Structure 1
Amino acid sequence: MSEDDLLENYRRAYNVKVGFGQRPALILIDFCQGYFDPGCDLYSDVEDALSSALRIRDAARLAKIPVILTNISYHPSGINGGRFFEKAAPLRYFIEGNPMAAFARGLEPEEGELVITKQYPSAFFGTSLASTLTAMGIDSVLLTGLTTSGCVRASCVDAMSHGFRTAVVADACGDRHEAPHQANLFDMNAKYADVVSEEEAMDFLQRLQNKHAAQDG
């Protein structure tokens, strides 16, 4: 099967859009300092993803939707990371107190913004995120973060599995290599989420801001 035929095959099978929800939350996944420090094993060329995520975060704040950040933290022994910590050597940079685990510059949460600390790839696995979103009346999530093929994908699958309409903002996600980045965006868009551009996400958030302004006025 040629590449064109394969793409057409995917379009026939998976060309479905679920759209944005009515009560979304923005989730910023693991924008940790280690990804931006050339001396760290985690270092990746993801500055553009962070810049996009910061613009989306600012728009989300104006639209008055919840902004939730995730980070990773391990006991000094790594025991609470289980097999994930055993398998992925760079996770040692997330042992509590390591500066590489700090939020990237510019991403510091504002007062009242929730931080979810996790030990595994998904923002939902072993955390209170799903129940918290449900209690808040949230019906959908916008996902941004690092890395596309790892924690973003895992969070995307779990978000969908928990019943949330899920949008992954492609421009605000990054990976150490373009191939897994694009492959995972393609696969998430086919099966689990709508993969959208920064422009689409910003247009959606602007509509929400306008709606809230009209209600307040």
Structure 2
Amino acid sequence: MPTETDLGENYRRAYGNRIGFGKRPALILIDFVEAYFDPSCELYAGVETALASALRVREAARANGVPVIYTNVVYQPDGRDGGRFFQKALPLRNFIAGSPMGAWPQGLTVDPGETVISKQYPSAFFGTSLAPMLASAGIDTLVHTGLSTSGCVRATCVDSCSHGFIPIIVRDAVGDRHPAPHEANLFDMDAKYGDVVGEADIIDYFNTVGAAE
């Protein structure tokens, strides 16, 4: 059986490529909603540090003219618009329209002119206008922050790649309720779909983009 060192070397040899940053980024904050911050909710994930990081990244985006996009999840009262996803994942009932669990958490407000996309499935692209909106604005890079790493962040990353956008995932600004799926999915996204980078790298990137305008 291969050792952990052998497997690591195998992945580096097969998937060690970096795609790098594009010229026109947008920032997406995926599903930063109250359900993940309220200990009484079964979706509580203790991800306050991820939100704090995402807000610092957002500050840099705003300062440099980088478009900011938010997603949330909203269902009809009977969940019919959630299909099999709503049937399978019972905690999604927290996102019935009007539920306080679907509200923005303390410290997160949306400025006028920033875009909110309400979705019913894991990916921010599936069944939404995100892809044509980005394409029409000439965006080539989508910087991912949000929740959860193993769910909607990963799904959005894969679809971002599939739609031809460069997926960049900010390690400090994504979170999950358990470290094992969090780390495994960061590893996998970095290997196959986009680049996982640190908060400071993204802030420097946004500052560079702003200086070039």
Q: TM-score, normalised by structure 1?
A: 0.96
The one-character-per-residue Cα deviations of 1:132-187 (angstroms, maximum 9, x if unpaired) are 10111111100000000000000000000000011000100000000000000000
- Aligned partner of 2:123: which letter? S
Q: How far has the Cα of 1:209 moved from its partner?
A: 2.4
Q: Corresponding residue for 1:193?
A: 194
Equivalent-residue separation in structure 2 for 1:61 and 1:85 (angstroms): 34
Q: Corresponding residue for 1:17?
A: 18
SS at match of 2:43: coil
Q: Corresponding residue for 1:114?
A: 115
Q: How far has the Cα of 1:87 moved from its partner?
A: 0.5
SS at match of 2:143: strand
Q: Corresponding residue for 1:70?
A: 71
Q: Corresponding residue for 1:59?
A: 60
Verify: 1:203 aligned to 2:204, yes or no.
Answer: yes
- Aligned partner of 1:101: which letter? G
SS at match of 1:49: helix
Runs of 4+ aligned residues of structure 1 deviating over 4 Å after TM superposition are none
Q: Corresponding residue for 1:174?
A: 175
Q: Corresponding residue for 2:128?
A: 127
Q: How far has the Cα of 1:210 moved from its partner?
A: 2.4
- Aligned partner of 1:113: which letter? E
The one-character-per-residue Cα deviations of 1:106-127 (angstroms, maximum 9, x if unpaired) are 2211000000000000000000
- Aligned partner of 2:77: which letter? P
Q: Corresponding residue for 2:144?
A: 143
- Aligned partner of 2:128: which letter? T
Kindly report the root-mean-square deviation, in angstroms, between the aligned alpha carbons of the 2 structures. Answer: 0.7
- Aligned partner of 2:57: which letter? I
Unmatched segments (≥5 aa) in structure 2: none
Contact 2:74 2:119 in 1 (8 A): yes
Q: Corresponding residue for 1:44?
A: 45
Equivalent-residue separation in structure 1 for 2:108 and 2:137 (angstroms): 23
Q: Corresponding residue for 1:35?
A: 36
Unmatched segments (≥5 aa) in structure 1: 213-217
Equivalent-residue separation in structure 2 for 1:4 and 1:199 (angstroms): 29
Equivalent-residue separation in structure 2 for 1:136 and 1:202 (angstroms): 21
- Aligned partner of 1:136: which letter? A
| Aligned positions, number | 212
Equivalent-residue separation in structure 2 for 1:153 and 1:107 (angstroms): 22
- Aligned partner of 1:49: which letter? A
Equivalent-residue separation in structure 2 for 1:202 and 1:179 (angstroms): 27
Equivalent-residue separation in structure 2 for 1:193 and 1:36 (angstroms): 27
Equivalent-residue separation in structure 2 for 1:108 and 1:76 (angstroms): 25
Matched residues, percent identical?
A: 61
Residue correspondence of structure 1 range 68-107 to structure 2 within 5 A: 68-107=69-108
Q: How far has the Cα of 1:207 moved from its partner?
A: 1.3
Q: How far has the Cα of 1:206 moved from its partner?
A: 1.6
Q: How far has the Cα of 1:17 moved from its partner?
A: 0.6
SS at match of 2:65: coil
Equivalent-residue separation in structure 2 for 1:106 and 1:61 (angstroms): 16
